[in-house]
A and B are shown apart, each in its own frame.
Chain A
Amino acid sequence: MEHLSLVIFTVLAQASAGLCLMMVLMKLGGAITSQGVMAMGYLVALALLGVAGIASITHLGQPLRVMNVMYGLAHGSPLSWEIAAVTVFGGLAFITGALNFKGHPLGQSIALPLMTAVFGMLMVYAITQVYTLPTVRAWNTQWTLAQFMTSALVLGCVLGTTLLSFENKSFNMTNVMALVVIGIILLQLPLLTQFIGQLEGELSATLDSQLPLVRLLMLVAGCLFWLVPMLKGQPSVAFSLIATVLLMGSEMAGRAYFYDLLHLRLL
Protein backbone atom coordinates (compact mmCIF):
# COMPACT_ATOMS: atom_id res chain seq x y z
CA MET A 1 0.00 0.00 0.00
CA GLU A 2 3.00 2.26 -0.22
CA HIS A 3 1.74 3.59 -3.53
CA LEU A 4 -1.78 4.37 -2.31
CA SER A 5 -1.42 8.04 -3.26
CA LEU A 6 -0.57 7.06 -6.84
CA VAL A 7 -3.44 4.54 -6.91
CA ILE A 8 -5.82 7.35 -5.94
CA PHE A 9 -4.24 9.78 -8.40
CA THR A 10 -4.38 7.50 -11.44
CA VAL A 11 -7.83 6.04 -10.78
CA LEU A 12 -9.52 9.38 -10.00
CA ALA A 13 -7.80 11.24 -12.85
CA GLN A 14 -8.93 8.52 -15.25
CA ALA A 15 -12.45 8.62 -13.79
CA SER A 16 -12.51 12.36 -14.38
CA ALA A 17 -11.41 11.93 -18.01
CA GLY A 18 -13.94 9.14 -18.54
CA LEU A 19 -16.75 11.29 -17.14
CA CYS A 20 -15.86 14.17 -19.47
CA LEU A 21 -15.89 11.75 -22.40
CA MET A 22 -19.29 10.40 -21.35
CA MET A 23 -20.67 13.90 -20.97
CA VAL A 24 -19.83 14.94 -24.50
CA LEU A 25 -21.29 11.64 -25.80
CA MET A 26 -24.46 12.10 -23.75
CA LYS A 27 -24.79 15.69 -24.93
CA LEU A 28 -24.34 14.60 -28.55
CA GLY A 29 -26.85 11.81 -28.00
CA GLY A 30 -29.38 14.19 -26.51
CA ALA A 31 -29.41 12.56 -23.08
CA ILE A 32 -28.23 15.83 -21.53
CA THR A 33 -29.98 19.00 -22.56
CA SER A 34 -29.68 21.20 -19.48
CA GLN A 35 -26.66 23.40 -18.87
CA GLY A 36 -27.22 22.88 -15.15
CA VAL A 37 -26.60 19.16 -15.53
CA MET A 38 -23.49 19.84 -17.60
CA ALA A 39 -22.20 22.21 -14.92
CA MET A 40 -22.78 19.58 -12.24
CA GLY A 41 -20.97 16.99 -14.31
CA TYR A 42 -17.90 19.16 -14.77
CA LEU A 43 -17.97 20.06 -11.10
CA VAL A 44 -17.79 16.37 -10.24
CA ALA A 45 -15.02 15.87 -12.82
CA LEU A 46 -13.03 18.75 -11.33
CA ALA A 47 -13.58 17.50 -7.79
CA LEU A 48 -12.23 14.08 -8.80
CA LEU A 49 -9.26 15.66 -10.56
CA GLY A 50 -8.61 17.93 -7.58
CA VAL A 51 -8.50 15.03 -5.13
CA ALA A 52 -6.31 13.14 -7.60
CA GLY A 53 -3.92 16.09 -7.82
CA ILE A 54 -3.65 16.44 -4.06
CA ALA A 55 -3.01 12.71 -3.74
CA SER A 56 -0.24 12.86 -6.35
CA ILE A 57 1.48 15.72 -4.54
CA THR A 58 1.46 13.78 -1.27
CA HIS A 59 3.56 11.13 -3.05
CA LEU A 60 6.42 13.58 -3.49
CA GLY A 61 9.29 13.84 -1.02
CA GLN A 62 9.36 17.60 -1.56
CA PRO A 63 5.79 18.64 -2.40
CA LEU A 64 6.56 22.36 -2.15
CA ARG A 65 8.91 22.07 -5.10
CA VAL A 66 6.25 20.59 -7.36
CA MET A 67 6.55 23.39 -9.94
CA ASN A 68 10.06 22.11 -10.77
CA VAL A 69 8.42 19.43 -12.90
CA MET A 70 7.97 21.99 -15.65
CA TYR A 71 11.73 21.85 -16.31
CA GLY A 72 11.37 18.27 -17.53
CA LEU A 73 9.27 19.28 -20.53
CA ALA A 74 12.50 20.46 -22.17
CA HIS A 75 13.92 16.94 -22.43
CA GLY A 76 10.56 15.22 -22.80
CA SER A 77 10.23 13.52 -19.44
CA PRO A 78 7.02 11.45 -19.61
CA LEU A 79 6.19 12.52 -16.09
CA SER A 80 6.42 16.21 -16.96
CA TRP A 81 4.13 15.65 -19.94
CA GLU A 82 1.67 13.80 -17.74
CA ILE A 83 1.48 16.67 -15.28
CA ALA A 84 1.16 19.19 -18.11
CA ALA A 85 -1.67 17.10 -19.58
CA VAL A 86 -3.46 16.98 -16.21
CA THR A 87 -3.15 20.77 -15.96
CA VAL A 88 -4.48 21.44 -19.48
CA PHE A 89 -7.34 18.98 -19.05
CA GLY A 90 -8.21 20.49 -15.68
CA GLY A 91 -8.17 23.99 -17.14
CA LEU A 92 -10.47 23.00 -19.99
CA ALA A 93 -12.86 21.19 -17.65
CA PHE A 94 -12.96 24.29 -15.46
CA ILE A 95 -13.72 26.63 -18.37
CA THR A 96 -16.40 24.32 -19.76
CA GLY A 97 -17.99 23.90 -16.35
CA ALA A 98 -17.82 27.61 -15.54
CA LEU A 99 -19.47 28.62 -18.82
CA ASN A 100 -22.29 26.15 -18.27
CA PHE A 101 -22.68 27.17 -14.64
CA LYS A 102 -23.28 30.76 -15.66
CA GLY A 103 -25.70 29.66 -18.36
CA HIS A 104 -23.47 31.43 -20.86
CA PRO A 105 -24.45 30.86 -24.52
CA LEU A 106 -20.91 29.61 -25.26
CA GLY A 107 -21.62 26.80 -22.82
CA GLN A 108 -24.16 25.38 -25.24
CA SER A 109 -21.51 24.77 -27.89
CA ILE A 110 -20.18 21.25 -28.29
CA ALA A 111 -16.64 22.47 -29.03
CA LEU A 112 -15.46 22.96 -25.44
CA PRO A 113 -16.85 19.67 -24.09
CA LEU A 114 -15.31 17.95 -27.09
CA MET A 115 -11.88 19.51 -26.52
CA THR A 116 -12.09 18.65 -22.83
CA ALA A 117 -12.89 15.03 -23.63
CA VAL A 118 -10.05 14.81 -26.17
CA PHE A 119 -7.55 16.25 -23.72
CA GLY A 120 -8.91 13.93 -21.07
CA MET A 121 -8.05 10.94 -23.24
CA LEU A 122 -4.66 12.46 -24.08
CA MET A 123 -4.06 12.75 -20.34
CA VAL A 124 -4.89 9.06 -19.87
CA TYR A 125 -2.46 8.26 -22.68
CA ALA A 126 0.19 10.46 -21.03
CA ILE A 127 -0.27 8.55 -17.75
CA THR A 128 0.17 5.29 -19.68
CA GLN A 129 3.43 6.55 -21.16
CA VAL A 130 4.80 7.20 -17.67
CA TYR A 131 4.25 3.62 -16.59
CA THR A 132 5.26 1.70 -19.71
CA LEU A 133 8.88 1.30 -18.61
CA PRO A 134 11.34 -1.26 -20.00
CA THR A 135 12.66 -1.88 -16.50
CA VAL A 136 9.38 -3.05 -14.99
CA ARG A 137 8.50 -6.22 -16.84
CA ALA A 138 4.91 -6.40 -15.64
CA TRP A 139 4.21 -2.85 -16.84
CA ASN A 140 6.04 -2.91 -20.15
CA THR A 141 3.15 -4.21 -22.23
CA GLN A 142 0.03 -2.95 -24.01
CA TRP A 143 -1.98 -4.25 -21.04
CA THR A 144 -1.02 -1.07 -19.21
CA LEU A 145 -2.73 1.05 -21.87
CA ALA A 146 -5.70 -1.35 -21.92
CA GLN A 147 -6.12 -1.24 -18.15
CA PHE A 148 -5.84 2.53 -17.87
CA MET A 149 -8.27 3.16 -20.73
CA THR A 150 -10.72 0.60 -19.35
CA SER A 151 -10.64 2.31 -15.95
CA ALA A 152 -11.49 5.62 -17.58
CA LEU A 153 -14.34 4.13 -19.64
CA VAL A 154 -15.88 2.04 -16.86
CA LEU A 155 -15.80 4.82 -14.29
CA GLY A 156 -16.89 7.40 -16.84
CA CYS A 157 -19.91 5.29 -17.74
CA VAL A 158 -21.04 4.70 -14.17
CA LEU A 159 -20.49 8.35 -13.21
CA GLY A 160 -22.47 9.41 -16.28
CA THR A 161 -25.30 7.10 -15.26
CA THR A 162 -25.28 8.55 -11.74
CA LEU A 163 -25.38 12.06 -13.15
CA LEU A 164 -28.43 11.23 -15.26
CA SER A 165 -30.16 9.50 -12.36
CA PHE A 166 -30.16 12.83 -10.51
CA GLU A 167 -32.26 14.15 -13.38
CA ASN A 168 -34.48 11.10 -13.05
CA LYS A 169 -33.31 9.91 -16.39
CA SER A 170 -31.82 6.59 -17.20
CA PHE A 171 -31.01 4.20 -19.98
CA ASN A 172 -33.20 1.24 -20.71
CA MET A 173 -32.23 -2.19 -21.92
CA THR A 174 -32.63 -1.34 -25.57
CA ASN A 175 -30.12 1.42 -25.18
CA VAL A 176 -26.47 1.12 -26.01
CA MET A 177 -25.50 1.88 -22.40
CA ALA A 178 -26.78 -1.44 -21.11
CA LEU A 179 -24.84 -3.18 -23.84
CA VAL A 180 -21.78 -1.29 -22.71
CA VAL A 181 -22.25 -2.49 -19.13
CA ILE A 182 -22.64 -6.11 -20.15
CA GLY A 183 -19.69 -5.68 -22.48
CA ILE A 184 -17.58 -4.40 -19.63
CA ILE A 185 -18.38 -7.36 -17.39
CA LEU A 186 -17.73 -9.76 -20.23
CA LEU A 187 -14.51 -7.95 -21.17
CA GLN A 188 -13.02 -7.32 -17.74
CA LEU A 189 -13.08 -10.91 -16.54
CA PRO A 190 -10.96 -12.33 -19.36
CA LEU A 191 -8.90 -9.10 -19.45
CA LEU A 192 -7.89 -9.57 -15.86
CA THR A 193 -7.20 -13.27 -16.07
CA GLN A 194 -5.25 -12.84 -19.29
CA PHE A 195 -3.16 -10.08 -17.77
CA ILE A 196 -2.25 -12.13 -14.71
CA GLY A 197 -1.69 -15.19 -16.84
CA GLN A 198 0.75 -13.47 -19.16
CA LEU A 199 2.95 -12.33 -16.33
CA GLU A 200 6.01 -14.52 -16.51
CA GLY A 201 5.71 -17.64 -14.38
CA GLU A 202 7.82 -16.53 -11.46
CA LEU A 203 6.09 -13.16 -11.34
CA SER A 204 2.61 -14.45 -10.74
CA ALA A 205 3.85 -17.14 -8.36
CA THR A 206 5.78 -14.81 -6.09
CA LEU A 207 3.06 -12.21 -5.77
CA ASP A 208 0.60 -13.59 -3.26
CA SER A 209 -2.25 -11.14 -3.37
CA GLN A 210 -6.00 -11.13 -2.72
CA LEU A 211 -6.39 -7.93 -4.70
CA PRO A 212 -7.44 -9.46 -8.06
CA LEU A 213 -10.18 -11.41 -6.27
CA VAL A 214 -11.38 -8.31 -4.40
CA ARG A 215 -11.36 -6.45 -7.69
CA LEU A 216 -13.48 -9.02 -9.48
CA LEU A 217 -16.01 -9.30 -6.65
CA MET A 218 -16.45 -5.52 -6.46
CA LEU A 219 -16.67 -5.32 -10.24
CA VAL A 220 -19.45 -7.89 -10.44
CA ALA A 221 -21.33 -6.37 -7.48
CA GLY A 222 -20.96 -2.86 -8.90
CA CYS A 223 -22.19 -3.91 -12.33
CA LEU A 224 -25.22 -5.62 -10.79
CA PHE A 225 -26.20 -2.44 -8.94
CA TRP A 226 -25.67 -0.56 -12.18
CA LEU A 227 -27.80 -2.90 -14.28
CA VAL A 228 -30.81 -3.19 -11.94
CA PRO A 229 -32.25 0.31 -12.60
CA MET A 230 -31.75 -0.25 -16.31
CA LEU A 231 -33.55 -3.56 -16.25
CA LYS A 232 -36.44 -1.98 -14.36
CA GLY A 233 -36.36 1.07 -16.65
CA GLN A 234 -36.40 3.21 -13.50
CA PRO A 235 -33.43 5.43 -12.64
CA SER A 236 -32.25 5.19 -9.05
CA VAL A 237 -29.81 7.62 -7.49
CA ALA A 238 -29.08 5.21 -4.65
CA PHE A 239 -28.30 2.23 -6.86
CA SER A 240 -26.17 4.35 -9.18
CA LEU A 241 -24.20 5.82 -6.28
CA ILE A 242 -23.59 2.38 -4.79
CA ALA A 243 -22.50 1.14 -8.22
CA THR A 244 -20.12 4.10 -8.50
CA VAL A 245 -18.55 3.41 -5.10
CA LEU A 246 -18.19 -0.31 -5.80
CA LEU A 247 -16.67 0.22 -9.23
CA MET A 248 -14.27 2.86 -7.89
CA GLY A 249 -13.25 0.36 -5.25
CA SER A 250 -12.81 -2.31 -7.88
CA GLU A 251 -10.57 -0.09 -9.99
CA MET A 252 -8.54 0.93 -6.94
CA ALA A 253 -8.01 -2.70 -5.96
CA GLY A 254 -6.87 -3.46 -9.48
CA ARG A 255 -4.55 -0.47 -9.52
CA ALA A 256 -3.06 -1.38 -6.13
CA TYR A 257 -2.24 -4.83 -7.57
CA PHE A 258 -0.66 -3.10 -10.59
CA TYR A 259 1.59 -1.02 -8.34
CA ASP A 260 2.57 -4.04 -6.28
CA LEU A 261 3.99 -5.55 -9.46
CA LEU A 262 6.65 -2.81 -9.38
CA HIS A 263 8.55 -4.96 -6.89
CA LEU A 264 9.13 -7.55 -9.58
CA ARG A 265 11.77 -5.78 -11.62
CA LEU A 266 14.56 -6.53 -14.03
CA LEU A 267 17.18 -6.54 -11.33
Chain B
Amino acid sequence: MAKQYGFYVDTAKCTGCNTCRIACKDFYDLELGVNHRRIYEYEGGNWVKKDNGWHPDVFSYYVAISCNHCEQPACTSACPTGAMHKRKDDGLIAVDSNRCVGCRYCEMACPYGAPQYSPTKKVMTKCDGCFERIPMGKKPICVEACPMRALDFDQIEVLREKYGHQADIAPLPSSEMTKPSLVIKSNRHARPAGDTTGNLQNPKEV
Protein backbone atom coordinates (compact mmCIF):
# COMPACT_ATOMS: atom_id res chain seq x y z
CA MET B 1 0.00 0.00 0.00
CA ALA B 2 1.64 3.24 -1.11
CA LYS B 3 2.27 5.79 1.61
CA GLN B 4 1.02 9.34 1.30
CA TYR B 5 2.55 11.98 3.51
CA GLY B 6 0.90 15.31 4.19
CA PHE B 7 0.78 18.38 6.41
CA TYR B 8 -1.36 19.41 9.35
CA VAL B 9 -1.92 23.13 9.98
CA ASP B 10 -3.49 24.32 13.22
CA THR B 11 -4.88 27.75 12.38
CA ALA B 12 -6.02 28.21 15.99
CA LYS B 13 -2.38 28.26 17.10
CA CYS B 14 -0.75 30.01 14.12
CA THR B 15 0.29 33.55 15.00
CA GLY B 16 1.54 34.47 11.54
CA CYS B 17 5.11 34.81 12.79
CA ASN B 18 6.52 33.47 9.49
CA THR B 19 9.20 31.39 11.24
CA CYS B 20 8.23 28.35 9.14
CA ARG B 21 8.68 30.32 5.91
CA ILE B 22 12.03 31.75 6.97
CA ALA B 23 13.35 28.43 8.33
CA CYS B 24 12.71 26.82 4.95
CA LYS B 25 14.27 29.75 3.08
CA ASP B 26 17.30 29.62 5.33
CA PHE B 27 17.81 25.86 5.17
CA TYR B 28 17.43 25.64 1.38
CA ASP B 29 19.05 28.99 0.63
CA LEU B 30 16.03 30.19 -1.31
CA GLU B 31 16.35 33.47 -3.13
CA LEU B 32 14.30 36.62 -2.71
CA GLY B 33 10.80 36.08 -4.04
CA VAL B 34 10.77 32.31 -3.69
CA ASN B 35 8.87 31.04 -0.65
CA HIS B 36 8.03 27.39 -0.43
CA ARG B 37 5.73 28.02 2.50
CA ARG B 38 3.45 31.05 2.42
CA ILE B 39 1.37 32.51 5.22
CA TYR B 40 -2.01 33.76 4.04
CA GLU B 41 -3.55 36.46 6.21
CA TYR B 42 -7.30 36.44 5.80
CA GLU B 43 -9.34 39.24 7.30
CA GLY B 44 -12.81 40.63 7.17
CA GLY B 45 -15.56 41.97 9.29
CA ASN B 46 -19.08 43.14 9.73
CA TRP B 47 -21.35 45.01 12.07
CA VAL B 48 -23.86 43.07 14.15
CA LYS B 49 -26.84 44.68 15.85
CA LYS B 50 -27.48 43.65 19.43
CA ASP B 51 -30.35 45.38 21.20
CA ASN B 52 -29.80 49.09 20.50
CA GLY B 53 -26.14 48.87 19.74
CA TRP B 54 -23.99 47.92 16.77
CA HIS B 55 -21.03 45.68 17.56
CA PRO B 56 -18.08 44.89 15.30
CA ASP B 57 -17.67 41.30 14.24
CA VAL B 58 -14.16 41.31 12.80
CA PHE B 59 -12.00 38.34 12.09
CA SER B 60 -8.40 37.79 11.17
CA TYR B 61 -6.40 34.60 11.00
CA TYR B 62 -3.40 33.01 9.31
CA VAL B 63 -3.16 29.89 7.18
CA ALA B 64 0.39 28.66 6.51
CA ILE B 65 0.49 26.60 3.32
CA SER B 66 3.36 24.97 1.47
CA CYS B 67 2.68 22.24 -1.06
CA ASN B 68 -0.26 20.01 -0.25
CA HIS B 69 1.11 17.01 -2.14
CA CYS B 70 -2.33 16.45 -3.58
CA GLU B 71 -3.84 13.11 -4.48
CA GLN B 72 -4.98 14.52 -7.84
CA PRO B 73 -2.24 17.06 -8.44
CA ALA B 74 -2.92 19.74 -11.03
CA CYS B 75 0.80 20.41 -11.41
CA THR B 76 1.81 16.92 -12.54
CA SER B 77 -1.03 16.74 -15.09
CA ALA B 78 -0.03 20.13 -16.43
CA CYS B 79 3.70 19.52 -16.61
CA PRO B 80 4.73 19.02 -20.26
CA THR B 81 8.00 17.26 -19.43
CA GLY B 82 7.12 15.00 -16.53
CA ALA B 83 9.65 16.89 -14.38
CA MET B 84 6.91 17.58 -11.84
CA HIS B 85 6.17 14.11 -10.49
CA LYS B 86 4.57 12.32 -7.58
CA ARG B 87 7.05 10.12 -5.75
CA LYS B 88 5.96 6.49 -5.36
CA ASP B 89 7.58 5.98 -1.93
CA ASP B 90 5.92 8.74 -0.01
CA GLY B 91 3.37 10.43 -2.31
CA LEU B 92 5.25 13.70 -2.10
CA ILE B 93 5.49 15.83 -5.21
CA ALA B 94 8.88 17.04 -6.36
CA VAL B 95 10.53 18.65 -9.38
CA ASP B 96 13.25 16.94 -11.39
CA SER B 97 15.36 20.05 -11.91
CA ASN B 98 17.37 18.35 -14.65
CA ARG B 99 14.28 17.84 -16.77
CA CYS B 100 12.27 20.96 -16.00
CA VAL B 101 12.19 23.51 -18.84
CA GLY B 102 10.89 26.35 -16.68
CA CYS B 103 7.69 26.88 -18.67
CA ARG B 104 5.79 27.82 -15.46
CA TYR B 105 2.65 25.97 -16.50
CA CYS B 106 2.54 24.12 -13.14
CA GLU B 107 2.60 27.52 -11.45
CA MET B 108 -0.54 28.49 -13.38
CA ALA B 109 -2.25 25.16 -12.72
CA CYS B 110 -1.68 24.83 -8.97
CA PRO B 111 -4.58 26.19 -6.89
CA TYR B 112 -2.26 26.81 -3.91
CA GLY B 113 0.65 28.66 -5.50
CA ALA B 114 3.13 25.97 -4.53
CA PRO B 115 5.42 25.73 -7.60
CA GLN B 116 7.59 28.79 -7.93
CA TYR B 117 9.99 29.81 -10.63
CA SER B 118 13.56 30.44 -9.57
CA PRO B 119 15.08 33.25 -11.69
CA THR B 120 18.60 32.12 -10.78
CA LYS B 121 18.17 28.39 -11.38
CA LYS B 122 15.78 29.00 -14.29
CA VAL B 123 13.65 26.01 -13.32
CA MET B 124 10.65 25.50 -11.06
CA THR B 125 11.12 24.87 -7.33
CA LYS B 126 8.66 23.73 -4.70
CA CYS B 127 8.20 22.34 -1.25
CA ASP B 128 9.14 18.67 -1.50
CA GLY B 129 8.08 17.71 2.02
CA CYS B 130 11.76 17.54 2.99
CA PHE B 131 11.61 13.93 1.80
CA GLU B 132 15.32 13.42 2.45
CA ARG B 133 14.67 13.88 6.15
CA ILE B 134 12.01 11.15 6.38
CA PRO B 135 14.45 8.17 6.46
CA MET B 136 16.41 10.04 9.16
CA GLY B 137 13.25 10.10 11.27
CA LYS B 138 13.10 13.88 11.11
CA LYS B 139 10.18 16.13 10.25
CA PRO B 140 10.37 18.93 7.67
CA ILE B 141 12.24 22.09 8.65
CA CYS B 142 9.08 24.21 8.86
CA VAL B 143 7.38 21.74 11.19
CA GLU B 144 10.37 21.65 13.53
CA ALA B 145 10.83 25.42 13.44
CA CYS B 146 7.28 26.43 14.33
CA PRO B 147 7.43 28.01 17.82
CA MET B 148 3.72 27.40 18.38
CA ARG B 149 3.92 23.74 17.29
CA ALA B 150 1.11 24.55 14.90
CA LEU B 151 2.43 22.33 12.09
CA ASP B 152 2.73 18.59 11.77
CA PHE B 153 3.81 16.18 9.05
CA ASP B 154 3.12 12.48 8.82
CA GLN B 155 1.32 9.93 6.74
CA ILE B 156 -1.99 11.55 5.89
CA GLU B 157 -4.01 8.67 7.35
CA VAL B 158 -2.24 9.14 10.67
CA LEU B 159 -2.92 12.88 10.57
CA ARG B 160 -6.55 12.34 9.69
CA GLU B 161 -7.00 9.93 12.57
CA LYS B 162 -5.39 12.35 14.97
CA TYR B 163 -6.82 15.65 13.78
CA GLY B 164 -9.84 14.99 11.60
CA HIS B 165 -10.66 15.25 7.92
CA GLN B 166 -11.06 18.96 7.32
CA ALA B 167 -9.03 20.28 4.41
CA ASP B 168 -11.04 23.40 3.61
CA ILE B 169 -10.69 26.88 5.04
CA ALA B 170 -10.84 30.34 3.51
CA PRO B 171 -8.85 31.68 1.63
CA LEU B 172 -7.94 28.23 0.28
CA PRO B 173 -9.97 26.91 -2.65
CA SER B 174 -12.19 23.87 -2.25
CA SER B 175 -10.33 20.64 -1.52
CA GLU B 176 -12.49 18.94 -4.15
CA MET B 177 -10.28 20.45 -6.86
CA THR B 178 -7.10 18.48 -6.25
CA LYS B 179 -7.71 16.46 -3.04
CA PRO B 180 -4.82 17.95 -1.01
CA SER B 181 -3.06 15.77 1.57
CA LEU B 182 -3.81 18.38 4.18
CA VAL B 183 -5.58 18.51 7.51
CA ILE B 184 -6.67 21.88 8.85
CA LYS B 185 -7.77 22.72 12.37
CA SER B 186 -10.17 25.64 12.28
CA ASN B 187 -9.85 28.64 14.53
CA ARG B 188 -12.92 30.25 16.07
CA HIS B 189 -13.18 32.78 13.24
CA ALA B 190 -12.58 30.36 10.40
CA ARG B 191 -14.57 30.90 7.24
CA PRO B 192 -15.28 28.12 4.75
CA ALA B 193 -13.44 27.70 1.46
CA GLY B 194 -14.97 29.96 -1.20
CA ASP B 195 -15.88 32.61 1.36
CA THR B 196 -15.98 36.15 0.00
CA THR B 197 -16.72 38.12 3.18
CA GLY B 198 -13.02 38.64 3.79
CA ASN B 199 -9.94 39.60 1.85
CA LEU B 200 -6.36 38.43 1.60
CA GLN B 201 -4.37 41.11 3.40
CA ASN B 202 -0.88 40.28 2.18
CA PRO B 203 -1.12 39.46 -1.55
CA LYS B 204 2.37 40.75 -2.26
CA GLU B 205 3.96 38.52 0.39
CA VAL B 206 2.47 35.33 -0.96
Contact = CB atoms under 8 A, between A and B. Distances in A.
Interface of A: 59-63, 65-66, 68-69, 71-72, 74-80, 83, 130, 133-136, 262, 265-267
A179 to B, nearest CB: 38
B89 to A, nearest CB: 19
Contacts of A74: 82
A135 B83 contact: no
B80 A79 contact: yes
B77 A262 contact: no
B174 to A, nearest CB: 9
B112 to A, nearest CB: 6
Contacts of B80: 68-69, 71-72, 77, 79-80, 83
Interface in B151-182: 171-173, 177
Given A133-B109, A136-B108, A262-B108, A60 B82 contact: no
Contacts of A71: 80-82, 99
Contacts of B200: 267
A267 B101 contact: no
Contact of B83 (A63, A68, A76, A136): A68
Interface of B: 40, 74, 76-83, 99-105, 108-113, 117, 121-124, 171-173, 177, 200, 206
A25 B92 CA distance: 52
A134 B174 CA distance: 11
A87 to B, nearest CB: 13
A78 B99 contact: no
Contacts of A267: 40, 111-113, 171-173, 200, 206
B149 to A, nearest CB: 25
B85 to A, nearest CB: 10
Contacts of B108: 133, 135-136, 262
13 contacts: A60-B102, A61-B101, A61-B121, A68-B82, A69-B80, A69-B103, A71-B99, A75-B76, A134-B74, A135-B108, A135-B110, A135-B177, A267-B200
Nearest to A69: B80
A75 B99 contact: no
A68 B103 CA distance: 11
Contacts of B76: 75
B172 A69 contact: no
Nearest to B103: A60
Given A65-B101, A79-B103, A135-B111, A266 B79 contact: no
A79 B173 CA distance: 24
Given A62-B123, A80-B80, A134-B111, A68 B102 contact: no
